[in-house]
Amino acid sequence: MTAAAPLGRSSVITTGCANVNISCTFAELLTGATIQTNDLVFSGFTRIHILGFGYAQIPDLRNIIVYGLDNGGLDPGPGLLFDLGGQWDLGPRGLIDYETTFGVTSIGNVIKDSSVDLGPNTFADGENSAAGAEDYLFEYAGGPAVYRLVADIRPSEAFNEPSVDADIGEYTSLFALLSFRAWAGDSDSGSANLDSFTLRFSQLETITSVVPEPSSWALLLAGLGLAGRLRRKRKSHS
């Protein structure tokens, strides 16, 4: 079962994608497409690593749909929803592991927080099985690490953290290394599924100075001039 398309997409702008201003396939993103959600721009996607074995097949990147999310206000903020198209739904001993990098740039509000949330149909069952997503954030490509967020389900380790949220500091741009995977474990009865996940960046509202319109400047200057004349007139009669 795949994730439902998000409802809030009022300020989503795509370039190089067939589903204009709604979503991009991962294949499109890897060939230079971009997604802007409100004032965050996601661009420069590259494929670092992909692995599939056992029951799994190498996924078709045209069937991974990435939606822009602009329904979170400043917190949890804008972001992306990755719908994996059922390709991470695995039977015994299957594994799919994928890594990608991309840039996150704000053209408005400052980024202060990041979160990763696994989709509602994500599960892992069996010895050493797991399903999840990790987001490694850096100041820039090759630069200092900022934070590592891990949302993961690993029943054999009694680990169940389908949602993570962290204060990462204040940034106008970040470089992300994103890894998402499902592993059905070592047994002949294992299974795992990562159906979807979201990646969001909450923000601080940027306060900008309000510059008066030309007409406002004229009224202001006229008022100052009148006040000056009245002061001079009072002095001349004193």
Residue by residue, DSSP assigns 173-194 as: EEEEEEEEEEE--SSTT-EEE-
Q: State the pLDDT at residue 231.
A: 42
This prediction's pTM? 0.82
Lowest mean pLDDT among 14-18, 55-59, 146-150, 163-167: 55-59
Q: Does the pLDDT of residue 216 top 50, yes or no?
A: no
Contact residues for 187 (Cβ-Cβ < 8 A; gap 6+) = 92, 93, 126, 127
Average pLDDT over residues 48-62: 82
Between these two residues, 173 and 236, which has the higher pLDDT value? 173
96's enclosing H/E stretch is strand 95-106
Q: State the pLDDT at residue 217.
A: 38
Q: Does the pLDDT of residue 140 top 70, yes or no?
A: yes
pLDDT band for position 143 (cuts 50, 70, 90): very high
List own/partner pairs for 16-22 with CB under 8 A and 24 or more apart.
22/67, 22/68
- CB contact at 8 A, 201 and 78: yes
Average pLDDT over residues 41-63: 88
- CA-closest candidate to residue 197, choices 212, 183, 178: 178
Please tell me the number of Cα atoms within 13 Å of 220 on its side-chain side.
Answer: 7
- CB contact at 8 A, 32 and 16: yes
Q: State the pLDDT at residue 158.
A: 72
How many residues does the structure list for the chain?
Answer: 238
180-205: pLDDT as tens digits = 999 999 888 899 999 999 999 999 98
Between these two residues, 53 and 82, which has the higher pLDDT value? 82
Between these two residues, 126 and 79, which has the higher pLDDT value? 79
Q: State the pLDDT at residue 58.
A: 82
Average pLDDT over residues 153-171: 90
Average pLDDT over residues 96-115: 96
Mean pLDDT across the chain: 85
φ, ψ (nearest 5 deg) of residue 166? -145, 140
Q: Three-class SS of residue 224?
A: helix
Q: State the pLDDT at residue 206.
A: 77
**With pLDDT > 70 as the criterion, what percentage of the chain qualifies?**
82
Q: Does the pLDDT of residue 223 top 60, yes or no?
A: no
What residue segments make up the domains of the chain, in order of their start? 12-207, 208-238
**With pLDDT > 90 as the criterion, what percentage of the chain qualifies?**
68
